A and B are shown apart, each in its own frame.
Chain A
Amino acid sequence: MSEFDPNIPIYIQIMHTIKQDIVSGKMKPGDKLASVRELAETLSVNPNTVQRAYQELEREGVSETRRGTGTYIMETERLIPDLRSEMAKSVMQKFIAGMRSLGLTDDEIVSAIDGEIRGGKN
């Protein structure tokens, strides 16, 4: 119900969840999104907030509204790879900002990642 991060607008968090569901394969291109009211009810949020999230998704080319039938995830080949790289970038930026705030230099960050990923193999 209220697992939302107070520092980020809720519509952005809703958009993020939907994008994540697309990238992870939980939702597929061409799938229909829940109606505004349904999703509002599931998340216990204001319907206007869901409406806004849907509008923004449409503006970003993630979904499209088909007149009278609802909102669908776009069926373009680029959608999943594009979303994946967009989301990977944002995860990475957060990670790097976090590491920098710990006082690590960029070289140290790179070698820390390297060590963590290959650590087990050497």
Chain B
Amino acid sequence: MATILETDNLKKNYYAKQALGGISMKLESGRILGLMGPNGSGKTTFLKIIAGLQKSSGGSFAVDGKPAGYESKKHVSFLPDRNTLYPWMKASDAIDFYADFFGDFDRAKAIDMLDFMKLKKDDAVRTMSKGMIEKLNLTLTFSRRAKLFLLDEPLGGVDPVARERIVSTIIRTWTEDSAIIISTHLVNDVEHIFNDVAFIDDGKLVLSGDAEALRTERGKSIDQLYLEIFGNK
């Protein structure tokens, strides 16, 4: 087992407003981490910093042993919480677009996954439902041979059938030598695919650990724990 992600006191301020108040965590290979917290708790900021899309205001992190920067960014595949593809693009254009951008993009895998997602190569983003767009974006994210996959709210606004397909894809993509972080507040649907969970509130970790150990120790599902921690928010 190797450490895929290590963060040390990671901080982010937007001018006077603090978004992350010092997050330290460690994620080993082969693990799936659930990053949970209400809207505005800092989940997206955290993921964007790891993905190299934003600069931290303090602290440090390393991906697969490489310190933040060009090298760390190469190993991270990020699924943003909103669609970033142009409406005129067909699924096949989007695949070409990603293949041009990322050296580790696996075209055969993308085509395979597209099929599993029941999407057609000639479908245009403009004509797709929200669930289809999410599935296309997920296909692109997962078709890279990355070490760390970051999924920001992959289940938001998606119907239960599409959700199940997305969960299946996450399990299919899982490998021993990579790690996945999933941010969500739809805990119930995915809690059993998490090895580790981290609850984040106001930019700080309030509880984290092994999912199974927490369930046994507290006699509660992760979903119930979520309600307990954030119930009065």
| A45–B193 touching, CB < 8 Å | yes
Which of A3-11, A26-34, A112-120 participates in binding chain B? A3-11
- Does A82 sit within 8 A of B, measured CB to CB? no
| A44–B30 touching, CB < 8 Å | no
In B8-44, which residues have CB < 8 Å from any A CB?
Answer: 30-32
- Does B168 sit within 8 A of A, measured CB to CB? yes
Residues of B within 8 A of A11 (CB): 212
- Does B172 sit within 8 A of A, measured CB to CB? yes
A65 to B220, CA, bound (A): 33
- Against B, the Cβ 8 Å flags (1 = close, 0 = not) of A1-21 are 110101101110000000000
Say how far B120's CB is from chain A's closest CB, in angstroms. 23
A2 to B226, CA, bound (A): 15
Q: Which of B164, B167, B172, B212 has the most CB of A within 10 A?
A: B212
Residues of B within 8 A of A2 (CB): 188-189, 191-192, 221, 223
| B193–A1 touching, CB < 8 Å | no
**Known A6-B220, A45-B193; contact A40-B212, beta-carbon cutoff 8 A:** no
| A1–B164 touching, CB < 8 Å | yes
- Does B219 sit within 8 A of A, measured CB to CB? yes
- Does A37 sit within 8 A of B, measured CB to CB? yes
What are 26 A-B contacts with C-beta separation under 8 Å?
Answer: A1-B164, A1-B192, A4-B192, A6-B219, A6-B221, A7-B215, A7-B216, A9-B212, A9-B216, A37-B172, A37-B174, A40-B174, A40-B193, A41-B168, A41-B171, A41-B172, A44-B164, A44-B192, A45-B193, A46-B32, A46-B171, A46-B192, A46-B194, A47-B171, A47-B174, A49-B192
- B residues sitting closer than 8 Å to A (CB atoms) are 30-32, 164, 167-168, 171-172, 174, 188-195, 212, 215-216, 219-221, 223-224
